[in-house]
């Protein structure tokens, strides 16, 4: 039940072109040309241009779900700075590999007329998973589960995910604009992210400790 060659090509090319010029500026003709299929074939596999986008999103969500369920180690249990940095960089790499779909998603979600916000769906998937880890960790450390869940969410979204997504999406242009190599940029961002975002987790944790009150 693999996707046919042509269909897969259409999806791949559509993803690329949507990312390049945005959904609305993308042309079905161009997708057909680059995917080397007859334009009508696109409509054999998809109801409309919009439904290509939907399938792209759906596929991505499915993949995300599987990945999140199966792996995604716990950032906060890594026991050395080195390990934390290494893990974070591989995490960045993961999102970097999803760059195109991420870009499309963000462009679409910025429209005020946008629908149910796939961005939030990702967030929810990510959080459900993290929550369990945090709970487990807290239990191990003998702490009560009393943290401010909503604030955690706010932090993870706006000062966690958003910096990471924007980094992935802007890093190339940034590197070019400010004359810095990608490697250096990744290093600096890693520094900065670990200091900023992780300081929230530290803070949240501190708030829970009995001797802290």
Partner DNA sequence: CATGAATGAGTCTTCATTCAT
Partner DNA sequence: GATGAATGAAGACTCATTCAT
Q: What does the binding site for a copy of itself look like in residue numbers (CB under 8 A)?
A: 19-22, 24-25, 103, 106-107, 109-114, 117, 119-120, 148, 150-151, 153-155, 157-159, 162-163, 166-167, 169-170, 173-174, 177-178, 180, 184-185, 188-189, 191-193, 195-197, 199-200, 203
Given DNA, a copy of itself, none, residue 193, with its beta carbon under 5 to 8 Å by kind, binds a copy of itself
Given DNA, a copy of itself, none, residue 2, with its beta carbon under 5 to 8 Å by kind, binds none
Nearest approach, Cβ of residue 43 and DNA (Å): 4
Nearest approach, Cβ of residue 19 and DNA (Å): 15
- The rounded distance, in Å, linking the Cα atoms of 109 and 114 is 5
- The rounded distance, in Å, linking the Cα atoms of 209 and 85 is 26
- The rounded distance, in Å, linking the Cα atoms of 94 and 98 is 7
CA angle 13, 90, 206 (to 5 degrees): 130
- The rounded distance, in Å, linking the Cα atoms of 189 and 126 is 21
Given DNA, a copy of itself, none, residue 29, with its beta carbon under 5 to 8 Å by kind, binds DNA
Footprint on residues 11-40 left by DNA (CB under 7 A): 26-29, 37-40
Nearest approach, Cβ of residue 70 and a copy of itself (Å): 26
Nearest approach, Cβ of residue 17 and DNA (Å): 10
Q: Does 111 bind DNA (CB under 7 A)?
A: no
Alpha helices in the chain (DSSP H): 5-21, 28-35, 39-45, 49-70, 81-97, 99-110, 118-140, 149-154, 162-178, 182-208
Q: Are 117 and 105 in contact (CB under 8 A)?
A: no
């Amino acid at each position: 039940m693999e996707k046919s060659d042509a269909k897969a090509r259409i999806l791949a090319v559509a993803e690329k072109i949507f990312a390049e010029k945005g959904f609305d500026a993308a042309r079905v003709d161009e997708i057909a040309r680059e995917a080397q299929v007859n334009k009508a074939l696109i409509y054999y596999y998809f109801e409309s241009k919009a439904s290509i986008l939907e399938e792209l999103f759906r596929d991505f969500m499915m993949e995300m779900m599987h990945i999140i369920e199966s792996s995604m180690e716990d950032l906060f249990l890594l026991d050395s700075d080195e390990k934390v940095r290494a893990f974070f960089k591989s995490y960045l790499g993961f999102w970097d590999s999803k760059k195109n779909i991420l870009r499309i998603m963000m462009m679409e979600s910025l429209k005020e007329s946008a629908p149910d916000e796939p961005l939030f769906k990702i967030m929810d998937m990510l959080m459900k998973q993290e929550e369990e880890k945090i709970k487990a960790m807290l239990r191990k450390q003998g702490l009560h589960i009393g943290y401010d869940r909503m604030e955690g969410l706010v932090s993870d979204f706006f000062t966690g995910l958003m910096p990471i997504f924007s980094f992935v999406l802007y890093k190339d242009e940034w590197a070019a604009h400010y004359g810095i190599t990608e490697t250096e940029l990744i290093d600096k961002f890693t520094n900065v992210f670990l200091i900023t975002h992780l300081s929230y987790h530290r803070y949240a944790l501190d708030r829970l400790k009995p001797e802290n009150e």
